[in-house]
Amino acid sequence: MSCLVGLGAWCDWLLYHSAVWNPPTPAHEYCRASGGDTWESVGELATILQGLGPPDVPLTEMASSSSSGGGVDAGVGLVLLRLTEDTFLRGYEPLLPAHSVITYTPPTAHTGRACDWARVERIRTCVCQFLCGVEPAVLLLKKTEQGDVLVPVVDNSPPDSPSSARPRLSVSGSSDVEVESESESEMSEVEEEVECEMEEDSRLASTVRLLSRRKKALEKKHRQQRKLQSLLEGNVTLEMEVRPRYLVPDTNCFIEHLDVVQALVAAPSYTVMVPLVGEY
């Protein structure tokens, strides 16, 4: 019974969104974990559910707008049946129309069994009635010796291969003319394809040259970065030599090192500048 919850939600979506999924996608257009046909399995399920008898628990369906909103309807003495999945998916927009119908059951009924039968009835309504009456139909009721069977009518035939789809040519005179015209049109199409391929090749060659130049520039940049990185990682000895042109000796130099100041004044490489203090 655990699968009834998921099947019920799926059937609710099928009921109110037929414009999205109908006509169904053929089985060969999507991948499946198993090799079976999905709609064939749905037909088998519908056949099994159709063979079930009526619920052994009385169920009453009403529109949610006409319900009183309480747990018990005092008028008829019925209890509101709350399904766990309906409570969980109450705000899910694609399934909002499915929640417009609520189910009641007598207070003396077993709640778990009533919930299971409510799910079965919901699934049976979808697969046994809706899928047979929707346009185009998905399931078809077929009479057999073993009884009524619901079979899928979805087209699951694989697409035609190019060889099978190719038209056959006769050897009559009129057909020869048609063959010649078709061959000429095919030749023109081939020539156009060759021209397009040549243009694409020229564009591809220019693109390759551009990419090659970019590759060389990037390689050069990477080499410079690696060289700089190797210099930064190693022990680098930096020696700086300062050669000023203008010298401003401190006042103490005139007291203790006057001979050095005189030598600097006599040297042609420097210009000794002495600030004047006071009036002049």
Domain ranges across the chain: 3-152
Q: At what angle do helices 111-124 and 3-16 cross, to 10 degrees?
A: 40
- What per-residue confidence (pLDDT) applies to 170? 45
| 28 pLDDT higher than 80 | no
Tell me what pLDDT residue 168 has: 46
68-83: pLDDT as tens digits: 454 544 446 788 888 8
Residue 238: its pLDDT value, please?
Answer: 64
CA–CA–CA angle 36, 132, 87 (5° rounding): 80
Q: How confident is the model at residue 181 (pLDDT cuts 50, 70, 90)?
A: low
Higher pLDDT, 263 or 276: 263
- Mean pLDDT calculated for residue range 49-68: 75
**Please, which pLDDT band fits residue 164 given cuts at 50, 70 and 90?**
very low
1-4: long-range pairs with CB below 8 Å, 24+: 1/116, 1/119, 4/116, 4/119, 4/120, 4/123
Task: Enumerate the H helices of 26-110 as residue ranges.
Answer: 38-51, 84-88
What integer pLDDT is reported at residue 63 of this predicted model?
72
Reported confidence tier of residue 244, pLDDT bands at 50, 70, 90: confident
Return d(Cα 13, Cα 191) in angstroms, integer: 52
Q: Measured in whole angstroms, how far is the alpha carbon of residue 133 from the centre of its chain?
A: 33
pLDDT of residue 45: 87
Q: If you average pLDDT over residues 144-159, what whole number do you get?
A: 76
